[in-house]
Every structure is written in C-alpha cells, then in structure tokens.
Amino acid sequence: MATLPSSTRSIPDVSSVPRHIAIIMDGNGRWAKKRFMPRVMGHQRGVESLREAVRVCRDLGVEYLTVFAFSSENWRRPVDEVSFLMSLFLKMLEREIVNLHKNNIRLKIIGDRSRFDDALQRTMQSAEQLTAGNTGLTLTIAANYGGRWDMMHAVHGLLRDRPDLATTFSEEDLMPYLSMSEAPEPDLFIRTGGEKRISNFMLWQLAYTELHFTDTLWPAFDRKELERAISSYQQRERRFGRTSEQLSGAQEQIPSKQGKPRA
C-alpha cells in the first residue's frame, strides 16, 4: 500500500491555499436555541453551510474537505435528536449525491458504519461508488467517527495482516490502515461554535495542522468566514519543529550525529 508523507517523518510541501481543510461543524443546537427553535432545526440549517463550504473549497482549489458530522460520542444525545440526525443524513445523501457527482466531487465517509441502519449503510456505499472516479474536490464526511477509534481500528488491521510486526511496526506500516490514508494531513483545522477542543476528531492526522477557532455557530458560517480562516492560515509560519531562521534561510543549522548543532 502506498504511503503519503507524514508530518513527523518528513517536511510536507506547504502551499498558500490549504490542500486539505478539516472542520468540526459545531454550534447547530445553540444557533437554533437562540432563535427559539428546536435544536434539530440547527442541524437542518447546517446542511446549507456545508454546501457553501464545498462551493468555496471548489472555487479556491482546495483538494480535500473533511467534516465532522457525528462523533462516536454523539450517540449519548437524546434518542430523538440522534434519530433526526440519522434521517437527515440519509435524506442529504439521497438528495445531494447527483449534484456532487455532476460537480466532479468524490464523496467518502469515514467512521464505524456498522452501527447505522441498513438503508443508510447501503446509501453511503452507493454514493461512494458513484463518485469514486471523480477527480475534483474530495469531500469526506466523518460519521460515527472518533480519532481513538481510527487508531485502534488501524492497529487491529495491521496486526491482523502482519502479526510478525507486533512489536516493531513503524508509522509507515500503520499509516495505510488509518481512515485518511489517501489524503495529505490537514493543513487547516477549523472549529466553529466557540469551543476550543478537538473532541476526538482526527487525533493522528492533526499533529502539525494549523488550528483556527471561531465563535461563529456552524449554521452562520459562510463564505466570508471560511475565507477569513484561510487568510489567517496564510499568515502562519509552519515550522514542523524547525526554527524560524532555518525557514528564512538566514542561518543554516545542520545537526551533528549527537543531535547538537555544529560549532
């Protein structure tokens, strides 16, 4: 299996437009509550924001957009809200897939699907199959996904295939088994809704991602907000462990074998 570069093993190429944006779409419930509406109306309105984010990414030439739609911990919510989210998911896939396909968008779903009902699992599979050959933006929806689940699932897969590597496997051995193995690591992570936490999103892949937090609630997150996040990303200096001087080329430091700079 081919492995993409890892931010902890080599220095990735950095471009001005992020190649991969990952978003925690948070704040739907509070958006609705503020308007004296049931929480689920916020989820419904959130679909519009996702459509807009997909459009902006396509326009700007972002290659991968990965969004957190339902975490492995969201099953703890009230039964009614969970079942609303499941039917919204199904409806959204059925309604949007033709449009995504027309726009050359490849849809992928990551997470443990075994807990979803048969109809949803079937629709997920056919949506992925239909768009598998598309070469535009890759939109990945994380559903019943958790970063810890992803890592455990990868380790189980690797040990099943290569029990001989049990105590010696490397990052490169493990990476092909992770959910996002075909995508570069996210350049930019955005969380809407004001919370400053990762909530078990892509724990492995966010190692060197630039983080952007905004108080804007997801249903109110529009083109301007996304462009603002990207321009804040463009001001960052991505050092991947190196010094600022190394990046500007002002002072070249070559570590000796002992890991100390040469005198």
- Assess whether 74 carries a catalytic annotation: yes
**How crowded is residue 36: how many other Cβ atoms within 10 Å of its Cβ?**
7
Which is nearer to Mg ion, 74 or 134 (by Cβ)? 74
Return the one option of Mg ion, ligand IPE, none that residue 40 interacts with (CB less than 5 to 8 A, by type). none
CB 120 within 8 A of CB 92: no
Q: How far apart are the first and last CA of the chain?
A: 42
Which is nearer to Mg ion, 177 or 201 (by Cβ)? 201
CB 174 within 8 A of CB 5: no
**Smallest gap, in angstroms, from Cβ of residue 126 to ligand IPE?**
23
Q: Does 25 bind ligand IPE (CB under 6 A)?
A: yes
Sign (positive/negative) of CA torsion 45, 72, 178, 130? negative
- The HSE-up count of residue 47 (CA atoms within 13 Å, CB side) is 14
Q: Does 232 bind ligand IPE (CB under 6 A)?
A: no
* DSSP-assigned letter for residue 216: S
SS3 state at 258: coil
Residues that bind Mg ion (CB under 5 A): 26
Q: Does 246 bind ligand IPE (CB under 6 A)?
A: no
Query: Could you tell me how many residues of this chain bind ligand IPE (CB under 6 A)?
Result: 17
Site string for ligand IPE, 197-216 (x = CB under 6 A): x-x-----------------
Strands (E), 188-237: 188-191, 210-213
Q: Categorise residue 144: left if φ over 0, alpha if ψ from -120 to 50, beta otherwise.
A: left
Site string for ligand IPE, 79-108 (x = CB under 6 A): ------x-----------------------
Return the one option of ligand IPE, Mg ion, none that residue 134 interacts with (CB less than 5 to 8 A, by type). none
Q: Does 70 bind ligand IPE (CB under 6 A)?
A: yes
The residues that are catalytic are 26, 74
